[in-house]
Structure 1
Amino acid sequence: MRTPKDYKKHIEKNEITEKMISDCAYSMNKRAKNMRDNQRAYYVRRKYEHGFYDYYHNEREYKEKKEYYYSLKKILLSPFKPTCIHSAITESPYGLMKDLYLFTEVGGRTFHQPLNEGEEVQYKDLEIISIGRLTTYGADTNDLISVQFTKKVVELIKSGQYTIVEDD
């Protein structure tokens, strides 16, 4: 996807809109899901195919990329206060797991960020809501905002020298 011209203009003025952050966070989230799925494919293949060895360390590289994209998403969502905490059941190569997620709404989209064990105490004021099963998917990278543009937004957020303005 081409970065919209108005996004570039906002960045030049050190401005960010909720829609920009939403699009960037969505893109990083979907890229991370793609990496997660690739990582799992190598994990399953290594586990069930006798003699399979990942000579090129693809599983590890996919895991590192996944964590990188999730770290960008976390920074992108940092200017916004989570709405609540969701308790959800997710599927992993190890089976079904029950996890807690910060739930944040930004620019017309909703996002889940996993909480590590014990982190929920930092959010005592947020209600914990059980949502049952949570299933997520990746997306075609041609439909996503570029990593390069997202990095510019992330650097602006990290600098603290930005203003959140109304969407065009």
Structure 2
Amino acid sequence: MKTPKYMIEAIQNKVITEEILGACTYSCNKRAKNCRDKEQEYRTQFDYYGNGRKNRLKKDNYYHMKDTFLSLVTPVCVHTAIESRDFYDGRDYIGVDKVKRFYLYYKVGEYGFHQPIKEKEIPADLPREDIGEFTTYGKNIKDLLSTDYCKKVLALIESGDYQYIPQQPLKEAQTVNERDLYISL
């Protein structure tokens, strides 16, 4: 997807809105899921070129970016989920194992994100919700923000020289002057 002009202008003015943060986190999260799926695909075949390893490294990088983006917001609750995993012994299918997992749940704009944690790390002040079976999928990269744009937002966060505005999205400003005023806040 082509990055909207108002998002580019906001980053140039060192402003990160909830909409930008949510879209960048979503894009990195879905790209990580795509890499995870490719990595698993290469596990079942001879990988002469090391593509499984390359996808694992990309996946780890995208999850690091997601973690950095989520560091700007606080979790809403803890989700408890049952995860089904297929197990193989070499090449033979063994069966399905169900495992209880815990996730911090973040709400950023119109997006929701899960970040895995261990049971002993669950904050006592957060409510818990059981969400049952939990499966995640990747997304076509044509529908996501560019990696370059997400890296610019990441660099801005890591520099510490930015203003985070968890308010209305920039595209809701009615006129150019209102949007400019909003960006200058």
Aligned residue among 58, 61, 64 for 2:51: 58
Whichever residue aligns with residue 69 of structure 1, its letter is Y
TM superposition shift of 1:145: 0.2
Q: Which residue of 2 aligns with 1:73?
A: 66
- Partners of 1:59 and 1:97 lie apart in 2 by 25
TM superposition shift of 1:117: 5.7
- Partners of 2:49 and 2:152 lie apart in 1 by 31
Structure possessing the higher radius of gyration over alpha carbons: 2
TM superposition shift of 1:116: 4.0
Q: Any idea what SS the aligned residue of 2:149 has?
A: helix
**What is the TM-score of this pair, normalised by structure 1?**
0.88
- Partners of 1:65 and 1:96 lie apart in 2 by 27
Q: Any idea what SS the aligned residue of 1:54 has?
A: coil
Distance of aligned partners of 1:152 and 1:110 in 2 relative to their CA distance in 1, 3 Å threshold? same
Aligned residue among 99, 105, 111 for 2:107: 105
Q: Tell me if 1:21 matches 2:21.
A: yes
Q: Which residue of 1 aligns with 2:179?
A: none
Percent of aligned pairs with the same amino acid: 42
Q: What do residues 56-96 of structure 1 show as CA deviations (whole Å, max 9, x unaligned)?
A: 12111111111111110111111100001111122344443
Q: Any idea what SS the aligned residue of 2:37 has?
A: helix
Q: Any idea what SS the aligned residue of 2:28 has?
A: helix
Could you tell me which runs of 5 or more consecutive residues in structure 1 were left unpaired when the two chains were aligned. Answer: 47-52
Whichever residue aligns with residue 96 of structure 1, its letter is K
Distance of aligned partners of 1:102 and 1:154 in 2 relative to their CA distance in 1, 3 Å threshold? same
Q: Any idea what SS the aligned residue of 1:112 has?
A: strand
TM superposition shift of 1:15: 0.2
Could you tell me which runs of 5 or more consecutive residues in structure 2 were left unpaired when the two chains were aligned. Answer: 88-96, 171-185
Q: Any idea what SS the aligned residue of 1:9 has?
A: helix
Q: Within 5 Å, which residues of 2 pair with 1:4-19?
A: 4-19=4-19
The number of equivalent residue pairs is 159
Aligned residue among 34, 55, 76 for 1:83: 76
- Partners of 1:79 and 1:143 lie apart in 2 by 24
- Partners of 2:84 and 2:54 lie apart in 1 by 21
Whichever residue aligns with residue 6 of structure 2, its letter is D
Q: Which residue of 2 aligns with 1:96?
A: 98
